[in-house]
Amino acid sequence: MKALGLIVEYNPFHNGHLFHIEAAKQTVMPDVVIAVMSGNFLQRGEPALVNKWYRTEMALLGGVDIVVELPYRFATQKAETFALGAVSILNALNCDSLCFGSEDGDINSFLNTRSMIEENNEQFQQYINRYIKSGISYPTALKYAFNDLAPTDEMVNLSKPNNILGYHYIEAIDKLCSPIKAFTIKRKNAEYHDEHFASETIASATSIRKALFSNKGDIDRFVPISTKDLLIKYIDDFQEFHQWENYWPLLKYRILHAANSELKEIYEVEEGLENRFKNAAIQSQSFQQFMQSIKTKRYTWTRLQRACLHILTNTKKVDMLTQIETPSYLRLLGMSEKGRNYLNQQKKSLQLPLISKVSSFHGNGNLDLELDLKASKLYALGLSEPYQTRLLDLDFRKPPIILKR
């Protein structure tokens, strides 16, 4: 069976994602579609709107056949590490192809860019380090360093967020010497961070979440009916969606209660950020106010959010900077009948152990799984009782979703 891989967050699943799946299927003509999806916390260092099980069901109803979780250690990281973790999982699942959305839409641009950077990597890294030392953020340094290499029109624009991720997917395929063939689909209408509806049927996840939290704007035309139904069900089941403000009291306590020496051990807390965090936490009444207080030219909002997330989950540098560069297991969240047939066919050739029942794998010393379970428990604490109790041990109670179409 020919397997197509996708790397996703689906926060929430919307018409743009549906377009991507359908366009990818038309391009690759696969027998099965496999999605590697971030868990309850996402790459930008924020909680997912709804938990991973609801988002898994959205994906299955949207045309995906297998959903596998990207572990916390990779899902909450910079683009390079995020991409390496996700591509490693697709590779371990014996995917033939990977199709990603991009602002560019031309795979040759990505391949040309990868070749050019690889040929000039030493100089490229020197440019990046020089810009970082000048006090600007890593994404901006990357953009300036790339421009210093004098790219041609045949190169991809590395100032765009999905282009950056796409480039790192190509880089990860090379690094892993994977046989996966990459394709890209041009993103339609909405930009990644658009906060307003800019089209009749396609909107960014950011603008959809903003409409949901503000109760302003009708999202019906931007999401499949299955997504709308599941969002309504989530509110019925848990009374609210997840956002950073839900976790602000917990974060504030963690920052103010921890000694500076403890905060310095937390992943992504560097160069005196612990002092800045403590001073801002005392004066801030909300997460938004706190973030606006600590934002600097050197540190992007995303980088600071990730540091806050790691403080919240007490994730230390030693937890993230292990010698194992890639995931060590495949956590199955859901599948269609077609997906189950694929896994049965491939089970002897999968390159990593497949986990469908956490209790059978828990306790064997796997640090990545322990991080995932800890993060899921923390995610539940963003809800009030009795709803948080319903989520606290869901990883142990919930089997993979099986969708019968």
Q: Is 12 annotated as a binding residue?
A: yes
- 377: how many CB neighbours lie within 10 A of its CB? 17
Paired tokens of 135: 């006090």
pLDDT at 363: 64
Radius of gyration of the chain (CA): 21
| β pairing state of 66-70 and 330-336 | antiparallel
Q: Distances from the Cα of 215 to the Cαs of 246, 305, 331, in angstroms?
A: 17, 24, 35
How high is the pLDDT of residue 376? Answer: 95
Judge whether 16 is annotated as a binding position. yes
Q: How many CB atoms lie within 10 A of CB 270?
A: 14
Beta bridge partners of residue 330, listed in sequence order: 354
Question: Where do the H-state alpha helices sit in 321-393?
Answer: 337-346, 367-380, 387-392
10 belongs to an annotated ligand binding site: yes
Residue 112 is predicted with a pLDDT of: 94
Write the DSSP string, 172-228: HHHHTT--PEEEEEE--SS-TT--S--SSS---HHHHHHHHHHT-S--GGGS-HHHH
CATH 3.40.50 fits 3-103+185-239+324-403, yes or no: yes
Strand partners, 1: none
Tokens of 57: 């069901």
CB-neighbour burial class of residue 96 (10 A; exposed 0-12, middle 13-18, buried 19+): middle
Q: Is 20 annotated as a binding residue?
A: yes
Q: CA 168 → CA 31, 59, 63, 265, distances in Å? A: 26, 23, 25, 28
- Residue 189: what pLDDT? 59
Contact 83, 172 (CB under 8 A): yes
Within 10 A of 212 (CB to CB), how many other CB atoms are there? 17
Could you tell me where in the chain the CATH 3.40.50 domains are found? 3-103+185-239+324-403
Instruction: Kindly report, residue by residue over 142-187, the tens digit of the pLDDT.
Output: 888 988 988 888 899 888 889 999 999 999 999 999 999 999 999 8
Residue 13 labelled as part of a binding site:
yes
Please list, in sequence order, all residues whose beta carbon lies within 8 angstroms of the beta carbon of residue 113, skipping any fewer than 6 positions away: 151, 155, 156, 158, 167, 170
Structure tokens at 207: 């603008």
120 belongs to an annotated ligand binding site = no
Q: Which residues of the chain have pLDDT under 50?
A: 190, 192
Residue 144 has phi, psi (to 5 degrees) of -65, -40
The answer to the question of whether 257 is labelled as a binding residue is no
| Residue 355 Cα to chain centre, angstroms | 20
Report d(CA 123, CA 230) in Å as an integer: 49
- Residue 190: the pLDDT is 47
Is 19 flagged in the annotation as binding? yes
CA-CA distance, 25 to 73, in Å (whole number)?
30
Please indicate if the annotation marks 40 as binding a ligand. Answer: no
Return the pLDDT at 151: 80
